[in-house]
Each structure stands twice: as structure tokens, then as C-alpha cells.
Amino acid sequence: MNKPVLDVKDVPSFGQLVTLSLQHLFAMFGATILVPYLVGLSPAMALISSGLGTIAFLIVTKWQVPAYLGSSFAFITPIIAAKAAGGPGAAMIGSFLAGLVYGIVALAIKKAGYRWIMNLLPPIVVGPVIIVIGLGLANVAVSMAMNGPDGKYSLTHFSVAVVTLAATIMFSILSRGMFSLVPVLMGIIVGYVYALAVGVVDLSGVAKAKWLEMPDFLLPFVHYDVRVTLDIVLLMVPVAIVTLSEHIGHQLVLSKVVGRDYIKEPGLHRSIFGDGLATMISALIGGPPKTTYGENIGVLAITRVYSVYVLAGAAVLAIAFGFLGKVTALISSIPTPVMGGVSILLFGIIASSGLRMLVDSKIDFGDKRNLVISSVILVIGIGDAVVKVSEQFEVHGMALAAITGIVLNLILPGRPKVSDSVFEQKHDVA
């Protein structure tokens, strides 16, 4: 670890605080607003809930873990399915329950240690499930990129997606410093400018919007009735399997970047509970589920500024942005093919990160056990297989794939032992 410019508890000057917090805001911005854009939630609520969730996380982890929490891509398909089944309120109830699972897991880790969860979620299970998340969304990205508002193929709209994708790739590969950390945001900006030039942007909403405006909160008992059903539980809760593994990986990477063992102090149970609390807070106000962001860990690694006050500053800025009507309207005016262009790369990266987990963990596919587990997960997940016992009991797609993978890993002979030192496991920033 290089010597930090600002350590975890160091207080930056006002100028440093504003500049460095903006860097973190920009790093998470593109991905965080993409999720609500895809599932039909408010981008403003995504920003506000990410800020509130990050502050809650920092408090729970005793202001020791410099992490930012943004919208989780793992919940995109389940949220869409939950909304189709019971409206936005059903998606929020499912998100809250998923966050509650985090709390239960955190309590179990506090009482029994963390090795049991590593046995439950080894790379041979988590890697293919992550691949399913990315490839399962491929049709969504391509449809957004190719089709116009009428749902039919449009060469003009497709050209917007291609320009956006090309710009995002160029910033990802060729840029240096902070620009290399915000390729999604830069790709959206370039795509938006091109979309303006070819006339597919509607700015009327921006002109009508006020500078200060109340965002679209989605509150339980106010905007929807709270009713927990088995189908909502089965749609949303199993996704926590994937995001828990993602969380553990990020904590390991963050520990190496900052030079502190966050698994032991403040403890994995605290960081998992903080992540779950952020998701529950988000669900209570109408935002998507939360997860720690690899993009912001990348900012920490490059700047060597680990101050939790900088992350808190980014959270405050995100909350403020959510109440700026002009900003929200500008986000809403981003054409669908622009988001489709960046989605092609982002969803592919999600799938590739699953492959990378398998490669880094040195999974031997000459071993029939590994081949069977990964093959079954991939086909069940991407094929959107369904187990439907009744109208009230249904498990499908990614949730069914994850559950099947866990069961196969537990019952098939030859299961490898988890290393005594969790730091010997290889994890990378997603």
C-alpha cells in the first residue's frame, strides 16, 4: 500500500472536500442512474437513496470503511418482474426483504464467523450466476440500442447507440487518470451530444422543470399497501446470494487498497449490515437496492485519498442533486439508445467479471463437478427456467439458477475446502 494522501479519519480542507467528493459522485453517477432508467424508477430517488444509504453505511461501520453505495445491477430483472406482478410497491417490498436478509446474515456472521458463507458461495457458484446477470440482460440492451420509440428498428437511433458505445470504449481504454474512472458518464455525455445533433432529444421537460423540486418519493402505506407474498419473496430475496458475494469481494479489495483488515475491524458483519440497511432505506423511499461500488474503490486506489469525509461529501452532493428539478429532467431526457449503448458494454462487463472470477479462482473445468455446476446454472438462468407449483409459488431465472447452484455445490462429492485465510481468495474490483 502506498502512503495515503489523506487517511481514513483525516479531515480535508473545504476545497479538497468539494473537488474530491465530486470525483466520487461522477464515478458512480452513470451506473447509478442507469438502473432506475431500466426498471422504471425515479433517477432522482436513486441519487437520494444512494446518498442516504452511503451515510447509513458509514455510521454502521463506525466511520472506518470508505465506500460508496450505488444502484445494484443484480436486481434489474427481479425488479422488472416484481413490478409486473404487483406494481412498484411490490418491488420495494421485495427490496426491503432482500436488505433484511443482509441483516440476518450479518447476525449469523457475528455469531459464527464468516467461513460458512464462503462455503455456501464459492466462485464455482457465484461466477456463473454473475454471468447469468449480464447475459440475461443482453436482449434489453440491444433492444434499447436498435429500436425507436415505436418499438421498430431505427438506423438513426442505432447510430446514437453506436456512437455512445464507441465513446465509452475509447474512454475506458485510452483515457488516463480520473477520465478512466468515469467512462460510462463520458460515454453518456458524448452520446447525448450526438443525439442532440441528430434530433432525438426532447428538452421540453427540462425547460418546464423548476430548479428546486420535490422528487417522486414512493412511500409504504402512502403510495402502496404493504403486502408480503411468496412470489415477491422468491423473486427478490435469492438475489441477495449474489450481492452478498459481491460485497465480500469488494471488502477484500478495499482492505488491500486502504491497508486495513475490514473483515476483522469493524468486521464483515458490520459492513454487510450497513449494505442491507442502505437497501432497506432505499426501499422505504422508492429507490433501487444498493451495493458497494467498485468504481469508487478505483477512485480511492488512484487518488490515495481514503477519508470517509470525502465519501460522506459525495453522499450529500448526491442527495442535493436529487432535489434539483433541472438535473432530474435533464437525466430523464437522455434518449433510450444512449442508455442502450452504454448498457451493451456494462452488461457485457458484468458477464465478463463472472468469467474473470472463475479464471482468477483457477476453477478447473476438467473437473466434471465444476463443469456440471456451471453448465446447469448458465442454462437455467439464461433460459429463464421456471418452477411453478401454483399461482402463488414460482421461482424462475436467476433466483432458480442461484438456488440450484448452491444445492449442487453442497450435495455433489468432491467439494473443496475453504482456505483458513479468506485473504488468500482472489477478488477484483467489478
Which tens digit of pLDDT belongs to each residue from 370-386?
999 999 999 999 998 88
The count of domains in the chain is 1
Instruction: Specify burial of residue 232 (Cβ count, 10 A radius: 0-12, 13-18, 19+).
Output: buried
Which residue matches cell numbers 494522501?
Answer: 5
Quick one: pLDDT at residue 391?
Answer: 64
The per-residue pLDDT of the chain, averaged, comes to 88
Q: Which residues are 292's β-sheet partners?
A: 69
> Does residue 1 have a pLDDT over 70?
no
pLDDT range class, residue 393, cuts 50, 70, 90: low
> Does residue 290 have a pLDDT over 90?
yes
pLDDT range class, residue 428, cuts 50, 70, 90: very low
| Cis peptide preceding 238, ω within 30 of 0 | no
Name the nearest CA neighbour of 341 among 159, 170, 175, 210. Answer: 159
Segment 12-16 long-range contacts (CB within 8 Å, at least 24 positions apart): 12/305, 12/307, 12/309, 12/310, 16/305, 16/310
> Looking at the domain assignment, is residue 5 inside a domain?
no
> Looking at the domain assignment, is residue 171 inside a domain?
yes
pLDDT range class, residue 430, cuts 50, 70, 90: very low
Query: Whole-angstrom Cα distance, residue 111 to residue 113?
Result: 6
* Sign of the CA dihedral with 98 first, then 104, 109, and 114 last: negative
Report the percent of the chain where pLDDT is more than 90: 45
Q: Are 43 and 37 in contact (CB under 8 A)?
A: yes
pLDDT range class, residue 422, cuts 50, 70, 90: very low
Query: Whole-angstrom Cα distance, residue 185 to residue 30?
Result: 5
> Looking at the domain assignment, is residue 116 inside a domain?
yes
Question: Which residue range forms the structural domain that includes residue 271?
Answer: 12-409
Query: Whole-angstrom Cα distance, residue 183 to residue 34?
Result: 14
| Cα→Cα distances 403→82, 123, 238, 241, 410, Å | 19, 14, 7, 9, 11
Give the mean pLDDT of 18-40.
87
> Does residue 58 have a pLDDT over 60?
yes
Quick one: pLDDT at residue 429?
Answer: 43
**153: phi then psi, degrees, rounded to nearest 5:** -60, 135
pLDDT range class, residue 337, cuts 50, 70, 90: very high
- Residue 69 gets which letter from DSSP? E
Q: Which residues are 224's β-sheet partners?
A: 220
> Looking at the domain assignment, is residue 418 inside a domain?
no
> Does residue 178 have a pLDDT over 70?
no
Higher pLDDT, 353 or 410: 410
> Looking at the domain assignment, is residue 430 inside a domain?
no
Q: Which residues are 220's β-sheet partners?
A: 224
C-alpha cell at 351: 458477464
Count other C-beta atoms under 10 Å from residue 398's C-beta.
28
pLDDT range class, residue 118, cuts 50, 70, 90: confident
HEC-encoded secondary structure of 19-54: HHHHHHHHHHHHHHHHHHHHHCCCHHHHHHHHHHHH
Give the mean pLDDT of 381-404.
79
Quick one: pLDDT at residue 424?
Answer: 54
Give the mean pLDDT of 96-119.
91
pLDDT range class, residue 157, cuts 50, 70, 90: very high
Q: Are 71 and 372 in contact (CB under 8 A)?
A: no
pLDDT range class, residue 133, cuts 50, 70, 90: confident
> Looking at the domain assignment, is residue 3 inside a domain?
no
pLDDT range class, residue 252, cuts 50, 70, 90: confident
> Looking at the domain assignment, is residue 421 inside a domain?
no
> Does residue 220 have a pLDDT over 90?
yes
Quick one: pLDDT at residue 175?
Answer: 78
Q: Are 60 and 274 in contact (CB under 8 A)?
A: yes
> Does residue 45 have a pLDDT over 90?
yes
> Looking at the domain assignment, is residue 330 inside a domain?
yes
